[in-house]
Amino acid sequence: MFNTLAKNMAKSLFLSLLLFISFQSSFAASNGAGTAMGKSTGVGFVVGDPTGIVLQVNANTLNPIDFGAAYAWDHWFQFWGDYTFHYPRWMSNLVKSRSPIDAYWGVGAAILAADNRYYSGSFGLLARIPFGLEMKLETAPIGFFVELVPAILFAPATNFYFQAGLGLRFYF
């Protein structure tokens, strides 16, 4: 179980993430960036490993920043941020016709708060490289995505992870 210090640190990290997200959301909205139906911010969820909530804030239309807070099945919480590179015409060029599916990849980092028999009460640092596809509906501000994420844990031990998930974002 988490000790008191670990719980307080996790709360502080989560509140800091929320404040940063609020700042980024207002910046993106004032910048006029857009995605699904001209909306600049997407909030939703991802199901997989890890499972949690996601937020996408558009620095510009081709380079959104993705944030997430999730819980993994092997008993750890993960808070992440990824800078992504979107390729809206990649699928259209591949199938030789218009497609609502964007391909993307990115680089990012995650902070882990463990609650398992190996790292109880420990924090970890993870480097992430997400690869994904997102289908944005033209008639509603909704996007469906699938994401594969190879990652390397640097602390408290070194290990390789492979994360994957299916998700949904509502854009506003």
Q: Give residue limits of the domains in the chain.
A: 4-171
Q: Is the pLDDT of residue 4 over 90?
A: no
pLDDT band at 3 (very low <50, low <70, confident <90, very high): very low
What is the model's pLDDT at position 37? 58
Model confidence pLDDT, tens digit, residues 94-112:
777 777 888 999 999 999 8
Whether residue 169 contacts residue 137, with contact meaning beta carbons closer than 8 Å, is answered with no
Mean pLDDT for the stretch of residues 79-84: 96
CA 106 – CA 56 distance, rounded (Å): 13
- Longest pairwise C-alpha distance within the chain: 57
CA 124 – CA 109 distance, rounded (Å): 11
What is the model's pLDDT at position 154? 87
Task: State the virtual CA torsion across 38, 55, 31, 15 in degrees, nearest 10.
Answer: 150
Closest CA to 151 of 106, 101, 88: 106
Model confidence pLDDT, tens digit, residues 126-148:
999 999 999 988 889 999 999 99
Neighbours of 82 (CB within 10 A): 24
CA 41 – CA 150 distance, rounded (Å): 25
Model confidence pLDDT, tens digit, residues 13-53:
444 444 444 444 443 333 333 346 567 799 999 999 899 99
CATH entry 1.20.1370.20 includes domain 4-171: no
Computed over every residue of the chain, the mean pLDDT equals 79
- At residue 20, the 3 state secondary structure works out as helix
pTM above 0.85, yes or no: no
Burial 128-141 (b: 16+ CB within 10 A, else e): bebebebebeeeeb
What is the model's pLDDT at position 28? 38
Amino acid found at 164: A
Better pLDDT: 155 or 132: 132
